[in-house]
């Protein structure tokens, strides 16, 4: 596992990270805590040193899990977490990036993670009620206090990235990006390249769809958010199989899995990208880490890009309420 630099900030991470959310939040019933800890520690053994969590995952319990799991090797890894929501009665209750709330959230995250400094702190979603300059200023204060090392944004638009970066350098943008969601290439990549900001794609495997293990007959638990996402309706899962057929073709040629091709494609896009796939299964963890050994030639990339550009992917990637929280500035 090689190391990649996220922009010019000095932040270095493993070329593939690990998204911890799905271990106990968002994707159905929580994995047994002991098993979840084993998954995180196994990922470290595979060379993964970049772990992503957030206070809203659980809420709170995901950070606690990550904190316990990484304790034996805390100084060898990069921990990223996020603020930006009100949490009431154990549920998300709207956006909140007011400076005093950010500082309270960070104190809570530090305690739950059982660490002294958060390596990478993201604003989870842009709060239209709070100027992004105020958000960046609050994080700047936290950095000067030694409670945070690097500042990041999630699902932010180019305009707000620029505004925030002018107050406190932004080290990374986290947004969805995969073979079936390529909007960042035109909306934010030019800005990231210009400002030398790293990119951390979440859901690089299309929330599991690009592994080829989900079809129109797959049943989602009530606690799995995909159950209500338009792109994961049975009809759209059937329509979108065309992207799996492409991956199968390339995977067979490369003696790799669909997931490995999807991750290798992302790694080949820019040297300042580090995707954070998640899983609850040990064998999938090893499979994902194995993507670093898959080499896609320029011809392979062009073939994939041409095929994808000619496809229509059906279904919105978010519910309407979640879509409203995405910053398109």
C-alpha 314, offset from chain centre: 22
Return the HEC string of the chain: CCEEECCCCCCEEECCCEECHHHCCCECCCCCHHHHHHHHHHHHHCCCCEEECCCCCCCCHHHHHHHHHHHHHHHHCEEEEEECEEEECCEEEEECCCHHHHHHHHHHHHHHHCCCCEEEEEECCCCCCCCHHHHHHHHHHHHHCCCEEEEEEECCCHHHHHHHHHHCCEEEEEEECECCECCHHHHCHHHHHHHCCEEEEECCCHHHHHHCCCCCCCCCCCCEHHHHCHHHCHHHHHHCHHHHHHHHHHHHHHCCCHHHHHHHHHHCCCCCECCCCCCCCHHHHHHHHHHHHCCCCHHHHHHHHHHHHCCCCCCCCCCHHHHCCCCCC
**Is 57 assigned a catalytic role?**
yes
Does some domain include residue 214?
no
Give the CATH number of the domain where residue 56 resides.
Answer: 3.20.20.100
Q: Which of 57, 60, 150, 177 is catalytic?
A: 57
Residues of the chain with pLDDT under 50: none
Provide the number of structural domains found in the chain. 1
Does some domain include residue 194?
yes
Q: So what's the pLDDT on residue 325?
A: 85
Does some domain include residue 61?
yes
Does some domain include residue 165?
yes
Helix, strand or coil for residue 125? coil
Q: So what's the pLDDT on residue 63?
A: 99
Does some domain include residue 191?
yes
Nearest of 240, 258, 242, 241 to residue 250 by alpha carbon? 258
Q: So what's the pLDDT on residue 327?
A: 84
Does some domain include residue 306?
no
Check if the beta carbon of residue 151 is closer than 8 Å to that of residue 136: yes
CA dihedral (313, 226, 44, 59) in degrees, to 10, reads 140
What residue numbers bound the domain in which 41 lies? 3-205+270-294
b/e map of 200-221 (b: 16 or more CB within 10 Å)?
bbbbbbbbbbbbbebeeeeeee
Task: Render pLDDT for 130-159 as a digit per residue (tens, 0 to 9).
Answer: 999 999 999 999 999 999 999 999 999 999
Does some domain include residue 305?
no
Q: So what's the pLDDT on residue 44?
A: 99
């Amino acid at each position: 596992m090689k190391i990649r630099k996220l922009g010019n900030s000095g932040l270095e991470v493993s070329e593939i990270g690990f998204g911890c959310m799905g271990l106990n939040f968002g994707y159905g019933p929580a994995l047994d805590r002991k098993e979840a800890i084993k998954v995180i520690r196994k990922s470290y053994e595979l060379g993964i040193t970049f772990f992503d969590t957030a206070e809203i995952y659980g809420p709170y319990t995901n950070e606690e899990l990550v904190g316990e799991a990484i304790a034996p090797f805390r100084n060898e890894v990069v921990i990223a977490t996020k603020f930006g929501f009100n949490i009431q009665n154990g549920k998300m209750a709207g956006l909140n990036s007011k400076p005093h709330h950010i500082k309270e959230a960070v104190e809570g995250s530090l305690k739950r993670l059982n660490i002294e400094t958060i390596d990478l702190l993201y604003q989870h979603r842009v709060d239209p009620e709070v100027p992004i300059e105020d958000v960046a200023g609050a994080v700047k204060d936290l950095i000067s206090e030694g409670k945070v090392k690097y500042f990041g944004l999630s699902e932010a638009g180019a305009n707000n990235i620029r505004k925030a970066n002018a107050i406190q350098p932004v080290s990374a943008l986290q947004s969805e990006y995969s073979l079936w969601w390529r909007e960042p290439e035109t909306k934010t990549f030019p800005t990231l390249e210009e400002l030398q900001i790293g990119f951390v794609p979440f859901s690089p495997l299309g929330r599991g769809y690009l592994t080829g293990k989900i079809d129109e007959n797959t049943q989602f638990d009530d606690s799995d958010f995909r159950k209500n996402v338009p792109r994961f309706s049975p009809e759209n899962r059937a329509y979108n199989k065309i992207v799996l057929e492409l991956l199968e073709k390339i995977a067979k040629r490369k003696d790799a899995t669909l997931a490995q091709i999807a991750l290798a494609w992302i790694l080949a896009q820019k040297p300042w990208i580090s995707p954070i796939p998640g899983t609850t299964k040990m064998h999938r963890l090893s499979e994902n880490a194995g993507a670093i050994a898959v080499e896609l030639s320029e011809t392979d990339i062009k073939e994939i890009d041409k095929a994808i550009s000619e496809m229509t992917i059906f279904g919105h990637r978010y519910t309407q309420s979640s879509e409203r929280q995405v910053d398109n500035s």
